[in-house]
Chain A
Amino acid sequence: MKAVEQLRESMRKDRQWSFMYSMLDVDLDVSQGVILYLEDVSVSFDGFKAINNLNFYVNAGELRCVIGPNGAGKTTMMDIITGKTRPDTGSAYFGRTIDLLRLSEPEIAALGVGRKFQKPTVFESHSVFENLELAMAGDKRVFPTLFAKLSGEQRDRIHEVLGIIGLQEQTRREAGALSHGQKQWLEIGMLLMQDPHLLLVDEPVAGMTHQEMDRTAELLLSLEGKHSVVVVEHDMDFVRSIAKRVTVLHQGSVLAEGSMDEVQNDPRVVEVYLGE
C-alpha cells in the first residue's frame, strides 16, 4: 500500500517532479551561524593550481570582502560556489546540509545563491523592468514560463527592488542604454529578485565614478543582515568603506583574514601587494 501511495504522491499535478523538489526543498541549515563552507578546495587548470587548499567560511548575514592581487583565484572561487567549475578535491557546503558539488548551476541558483559577474551582463535588449522580471524567483521550467503572468504582488516586488537600486526613473528603458554604473546596479537588483540567501558580487565598482561608488557602498551595506554578501573588489578605498571582515586571497589560498586595519598591517599582505 505504501508504494501505491508514494506513486500517487509522485503523480500529483502540483508537484510533478517530487523527487527533484525533495532535493531542492532541503532547508538551508545555518544553525551554526555559517552559510558557506569551503574546505580544502583545490583546482588546477592544466597543472596550474588556481585554487590551492582553500578554506573559506562565510557567516549568515555577514558582508565579507575578498581582496587579492590579479590571478589570486577570487573569480575561480565564485565559479566553484556557483557550480561553474568543479574542484579537483575538497568540499563545498551551503549551510550544513547542502552539498554544492552535487548540484548544477541552475539548481544552485534556485537554492538562493546569486552571482554578479566581473563584467556586468544585463539583458541589453530588454527593459530594466523585464530584466528584473526574468530574474524573479519562481518556477523557471519551460511550460510554467511560457504561461507565466505577472501578479500584482510580483509587480510590487519589482517596484520595490527598483527603489532599492534607484532605477525607478529608468523602468521602461532598454538596459543596453543604461550607464555603466546603472547596469551594475541593475545586475544587483536582478540578484535581489531571486531572493538569494547568499550574494556573490565580483568587482562591483570597476569603472564607476566616485559618486556611483558611494551609492554602491550604501546599496551593499543596506543588504547586510538580510542577506549574506561576498564582495570581491580591488578598490581599497571602497573596501574600507564597507568592510568589517576582509579575506586576502593569494595564489589560491587564504593569506590573511580580519578587519581592514589588521589585514593592511599584516606584513605578509604588505609584501604580496608591494611585490607586485
Chain B
Amino acid sequence: MGLDSVMKGDKGGQAMLAVLLVVAVVVPILNLVVPESSPWHVSTYTVTLLGKYLTYALLAVAVDLVWGYLGILSLGHAAFFGLGGYAMGMYLMRQIGDRGVYGHPVLPDFMVFLNWSELPWFWHGFDLFWFAALMAILVPGALAFVFGYLAFRSRVTGVYLSIMTQALTYALMLAFFRNEMGFGGNNGLTDFKDILGFDLKSDATRIGLFLASAGALAFGYLACRWIVTSRLGRVAVAIRDAEARTRFIGYRVDRVKLAIFTFSAMLAGVAGALYVPQVGIINPGEFSPLNSIELVIWVAIGGRATLYGAVIGAILVNYGKTYFTGAFPEAWLFALGALFVIVTLFLPKGIAGLVGMIRTWRRSRSASEPHPEVSP
C-alpha cells in the first residue's frame, strides 16, 4: 500500500505531483527571498491566487471521485465546500475578539448589529482551531451521509439525483441568506484578522496557507488514488458502468456510494476551509447552484475519471476566469460555455484525454513511417 503502488501507472498524476512539489518549493522562495524589484519576484497577491486555485483543484478532485469513478453527477458539491468554509469562517470570526467595529469581546459584529445578547449555541467551540477544523470535515460529511443515506437507499440515480443535489445547495443558499440563521446573512463572514495567532495579512501567513493548500491537494489526491486503486475503487467503477449487475454480485451498492460520497464531501469541506482564510470572506453566494455546475465543468474540461485531469481543469479554467473577468467581465460566462461545448464535442475525455490522443497519433505515425533507428 506504499506510495509507489498507489501511483503506479498514473503518469499524469506523477507529473502533476512533481509539478506541485516544484511549485511548493519555488513559489515561496520567489516571494520571500527574491527582491520585489526583480522580474522573478512573485507577489503575495499571486501566491494567494495560486493557493486559491489549489483549493479549487482539491474540490475538483473530490467531484471527480464521485462523478468519474462512481457515476454520481453531483451538482451540489459547492455546498460541502461552502460548509467547510463557514466552519473555518466561524473560527476566524471568533479570533477577531474585541477588535471588531463594535468592540464586543465575544459577539461578532453582525450579532451586535442584530441586537443579539449572547452567542447562539452552535457558535460555541469555534474559538478553538481544532474544533473548527474538525467541524469543517464533519459537518459536510454528516450532511452528505444523511442526504446520501436517503437518496441511495431509495435508489435515486441519474438526473433525479443531480437535481436533488442542486436543490440541496439551493436550499442551503436560501437558509444562509437569512439573518436569523446566525451566519451573517448575505454579508457572510469577513474582516478576519488572524489565524492561529498569525496575522492573515502577512506574507509568511499567506505562504503558510499556500503550502497547506498544496499539502492538502497532494494528500487528497493520494487518498483518492488509494481508493480508486483498491478493490473498492473497482467496485465503484462497476457501479458506474452496470449498477444492477454489481448488486447481483453481492455488493451493497447503496453503502459503497454512501461511503465514497461522504468521503468526497469531507474532502470538499477541507478545500473550503483552506479557501476562506485566503480569500478573506465566505458568504451564501458560495452555495449558488451555478458554482456547483461550474466545478463540474472544470472536471469535464480536465478529463473525467483521471483525478489529475480535475486538477488541470480547475487550475486552467480558474486562471482563464481571473484573466477574463479582468479583461472582459461580461464575456466570461460565454467563454466558459463555449469552452465546455468545444471540449465535449472534440475532446470527450478532456485535456487529460488529449495527451493520450497525441500519444496514439504519434505511435501510429511512427509505425507507418520506416524507423530510422532500426538497423539491419
Contact = CB atoms under 8 A, between A and B. Distances in A.
Contacts of B231: 133-134, 145-146, 148
Contacts of A130: 234
Interface in B87-121: none
A3 interface: no
Interface string A123-143: 111100010011101001110
A257 to B, nearest CB: 27
Contact of A140 (B227, B244, B250): B250
Interface in B186-232: 227, 230-232
Nearest to B258: A142
Interface residues of B, number: 22
A110 B259 CA distance: 21
B8 interface: no
A120 B48 CA distance: 52
Interface of B: 227, 230-232, 234-235, 237-238, 241-242, 244-252, 255-256, 259
14 contacts: A105-B247, A106-B252, A115-B248, A121-B245, A123-B234, A123-B237, A125-B237, A126-B238, A133-B234, A134-B235, A140-B251, A142-B252, A142-B255, A145-B230
A145 B235 contact: yes
A182 interface: no
Given A123-B237, A126-B237, A146 B250 contact: no
A125 B230 contact: no
Nearest to A130: B234
A82 interface: yes
Contacts of B227: 146
A114 B256 CA distance: 21
A119 B251 CA distance: 20
A121 B247 CA distance: 12
Contact of B245 (A117, A145, A146): A117
A231 interface: no
A34 interface: no
Contact of A142 (B244, B250, B256): B256
Given A121-B244, A126-B234, 11 more contacts: A106-B247, A106-B250, A117-B248, A123-B241, A134-B234, A135-B249, A140-B252, A141-B252, A145-B235, A146-B232, A147-B230
Contacts of A115: 248
Contacts of A122: 242, 245
A52 interface: no
Contacts of A123: 234, 237-238, 241-242, 245-246
B248 A105 contact: yes
Contacts of B259: 142
Contacts of A124: 241-242
In the A-B complex, list the 9 residue pairs whose CB atoms are closest, starting with the nearest: A109-B250, A146-B232, A148-B231, A145-B232, A121-B245, A123-B238, A121-B242, A142-B259, A140-B250
